[in-house]
Amino acid sequence: HIHTGAHYHDVFAESCRISGLVEVARVPGTLHFQAVHNAERTLNLAYTNVSHTVHSFVFGSNNAGPLHVNIANLWSATWSGFKQNLNPLAGKTFSVSRFHQAPHHYLKVVHTKMGQNRMYQQTHQWSARNVARRAVPQAKFSYDLSPVEVVISYSRRRWYDYVTSVFAIIGGAFTFMSMTSSLLNLASSQFKASINKLT
């Protein structure tokens, strides 16, 4: 049957807001978040719910800044595509449906240089893992910084590069036509020789 008037305990409406800056080495690592006792409260840590909403989780500067003014218009589409990978967890909620579960995030981080901007792009996956009954649930963020760097640069093409390309195309077309003409002449002479032998 259905319980009327049932509601969640007030503890389910409580939460913590965490913000900060952590300096890490450029090696793989894991950031752990878990509840602990304090002087005012004693918690049943095994029943801690570590569901969370991420407002921002970035590597490097939180503000990548505008693109260099000379290339802003040319790279606007590219920049918008990259910007969504700088903070892919922003505004997302990660919740677990049962006790003794905890979200575990996996981040692959790639250093990217575009124009004068340096940034860290991220790819993200997550799963809700089961924890032992007496263990304290932890929200984990495992990150792996890629050893490679992506460099995107922009340069204008000089007029002599254009002229060289045009001459290369003309030269290639001329060579192809000369070879085709030579083959046709050879085939024609062979055909005429074989006709003369028959007559």
**Per-residue pLDDT tens over the stretch 81-109:** 677 788 888 889 998 888 888 899 999 99
Q: Copy the structure tokens of residue 184.
A: 């046709």
Q: How confident is the model at residue 8 (pLDDT cuts 50, 70, 90)?
A: low
Rounded mean pLDDT, 17-30: 87
How many angstroms separate the CA atoms of 4 and 49, rounded? 25
Residue 30 has pLDDT above 90, yes or no: yes
Rounded mean pLDDT, 31-58: 83
Question: Burial level of 114, CB count in 10 A (0-12/13-18/19+)?
Answer: buried
Rounded mean pLDDT, 151-159: 77
Q: Can you give the pLDDT at residue 5?
A: 54
Percent of the chain with pLDDT over 90: 22
How many angstroms separate the CA atoms of 171 and 76, rounded? 38
Q: Can you give the pLDDT at residue 168?
A: 93
Residue 61 has pLDDT above 80, yes or no: no
Rounded mean pLDDT, 20-35: 88
Percent of the chain with pLDDT over 70: 81
Residue 1 has pLDDT above 50, yes or no: no
Q: Can you give the pLDDT at residue 69?
A: 40
What pTM was estimated for this model as a whole?
0.62
Q: Can you give the pLDDT at residue 161?
A: 86
Q: Can you give the pLDDT at residue 143?
A: 94
Mean pLDDT for the chain?
Answer: 80
Residue 185 has pLDDT above 80, yes or no: yes
Residue 70 has pLDDT above 50, yes or no: no
Closest CA to 147 of 184, 107, 108, 91: 108
Residue 77 has pLDDT above 70, yes or no: no
Residue 72 has pLDDT above 80, yes or no: no
CB 136, CB 130: distance < 8 Å:
no
